[in-house]
Amino acid sequence: MLKFYDKTFASRLLIGSALYPSPAIMQDAIRASGAEIVTVSLRREAAGGKTGDAFWKLINELNVTVLPNTAGCRSVREAVTTAKLARELFGTSWIKLEVIGDNDTLQPDVVGLVEAATILVKDGFEVFPYCTEDLTVATRLVDAGCKVVMPWAAPIGSAKGIINRDALKLLRDRLPDITLVVDAGLGAPSHAAEALELGYDAVLLNTAIAKAADPIAMARAFKLGVESGRTAYEAGLMDARDFASPSTPVVGTPFWHAVS
C-alpha cells in the first residue's frame, strides 16, 4: 500500500484534472486510471459561478481524495496565500506546493520552494513539494518537515520521460524512508514503469493522458505501466552487466568432435 502522511492508497498513480477535451472525458479517464488522488488547481475552482460549481461537482462524483495545488505561483508569498485559501476551500491540510522560477521551463524556484514549505509545515500543512531532482534540495525539504518529495522527470508537459536517471536513483537511495513521487515530464506508460522500477512510490501526471488522442485508453495504459513497474521492482530486477551471460547452461551439454 502507498502511504501519504496518515492516509493509505492502493493506486500508485496520481492524476491531474486539467486540459481534457471535455468534463465527461476527464471523469472517464480518471476512473480508467484507477487513481485515488486527483490534483486540482485552486485558480480553476476559485473561478466561482456556475463553472466552478459544476467542476467541483464532477470531482466529488469521482469519490477521490483531492490534492489542491499552487500551480502558477511565482513567489513564496503567493504560494503560501494560495495554500491557505485552498485549505479553507477544500477542507484539507494537503497541498501540492509549486513555486515556479522560470517561465519557459517551468522549473521550480527551489530556494523559494524550501522557504514556502518551511512556512506551511509550521502552519500545519502536509506538503507535497514539486522540485527538481537535486539531492540537496530534496534533503532541505525533508529537513523542513516534508514527508513527501516530488521531483520532476523532465519539465512539465515535455513528455521526455526521465532525463536524469542517476539523480533520481540517488534520491531513492539516500531518502529510503521518504515517500517519493515522480512528478512532471512523463509522456508514455513506459516512463511511468521506469520510475516505479527505480523504487519510486508513485507518479503524478496530467498532460500525457489529457492530451492523448484517446485519454481514456491512455489512462488505462498508464495504470498498467505503473502496476508493471512496481511489480518488477518488488520482484527484484537483475543488475545490468558489461558482458554477456548465457541463459542456457553449458555444463553437461553433449558435444562431438571429428575422428580422423
User: Under DSSP, is residue 105 helix (H, G, I), strand (E, B) or coil?
Assistant: coil
Secondary structure of residue 180 in the 3-state scheme: strand
Separation CA 233–CA 235 (nearest Å):
5
Catalytic annotation, residues: 96
Find cell 523504487 and name the residue.
199
Asked if 211 contacts 186 with a C-beta cutoff of 8 angstroms, the reply is: no
Identity at 138, one-letter amino acid code: A
State the Cα–Cα distance between residues 106 and 118, nearest whole angstrom: 21
Name the residue among 104, 180, 95, 80 with its Cα closest to residue 137: 180
User: CA angle 148-125-76, nearest 5°?
Assistant: 90
Cβ neighbors of 191 (< 8 A, separation 6 or more) are 153, 161, 162, 185, 225
Give me the residue label for grid cell 562431438: 256
